A and B are shown apart, each in its own frame.
Chain A
């Protein structure tokens, strides 16, 4: 079945370390998105990519980086510059106005 796979489901890192969250889709969607979810704040857009080898900053890009070398993959790196990285991260892909979401990665920084 087609869908989006985010891995790992839970991730623990020490403060000051960079960490990369994986997002893979087999839906053949051109556009992919990364959202951050915090309690009571909904989902906020971090980065998005409309096409391979191109991506744009969302509303809260500081402290994050992405790459889009393949259509299927859109990894997100949470760098040590992100002041409050503990959160739930959701990846999504889109064709037309149909969005598909992954099941998320919960990142805890200790």
Chain B
């Protein structure tokens, strides 16, 4: 089935440690790719997006993501996590066959321990 997969429901990292959140998609053509962050009870804030070109994308708040076509992946990374990064993170895609609709993964909840 066509989908967006975030395999980790929860991740806990120590403050100052590096972070990688995984995202895989299963669509025929490479979709546009997004990462969003959500604080509890709030809307979604765009961290970064990939449409084409350089496969390493820089975003806000020190986040970056790398698109790997061979692995159908778009993993989010941050070299040093801050306590304020604790939130839920969503990977989303706009599959070409679905027009302009965003399809979301189930989300990864990030906990940061001091």
* Interface of A toward B, CB cutoff 8 Å: 4, 31, 33, 35, 40-45, 48, 50, 58, 88, 90, 92, 94, 97, 99, 101-104, 106
Chain B residue nearest in CB terms to A31: B100
B41 and A33 contact, CB distance less than 8 A: no
Instruction: State which of A41, A58, A101 has its C-beta within 8 Å of the C-beta of B101.
Output: A58
Determine if B27 is an interface residue (Cβ-Cβ < 8 Å).
Answer: no
- Chain A CB within 8 A of B95 CB: no
Interface of A is mostly: strand
Q: Which residue of A lies closest to B51 (CB)?
A: A97
Number of interface residues of B (CB under 8 A): 25
Closest 3 CB pairs of A and B: A101-B43, A42-B104, A101-B44
In the complex, A90→B100 CA distance in Å?
17
Residues of chain B in range 1-22 having any CB-CB distance to chain A below 8 Å = 4, 6, 9
A-side contacts of B56, CB under 8 Å: none
Q: B41 near A40 (CB under 8 angstroms)?
A: no
Residues of B whose CB lies within 8 Å of any CB of A are 4, 6, 9, 32, 34, 36, 41-46, 49, 51, 90, 92, 94, 100-107
**Residue ID in chain A nearest B34 by CB atoms:** A99
In the complex, what distance in Å separates the CA atom of A76 from the CA atom of B81?
38
Decide: A41 near B106, CB < 8 A? Known: A97-B32, A97-B94. yes
Q: List 23 A-B contacts (CB under 8 A).
A: A33-B102, A35-B104, A40-B106, A42-B6, A42-B90, A42-B105, A43-B102, A45-B101, A58-B101, A90-B44, A92-B44, A94-B100, A97-B51, A97-B94, A99-B46, A99-B102, A101-B36, A101-B43, A101-B44, A101-B45, A102-B43, A104-B41, A104-B42
Hey, which chain A residues are within 8 Å of B51, CB to CB? Answer: 97
A48 and B46 alpha carbons, distance in the complex (Å):
20
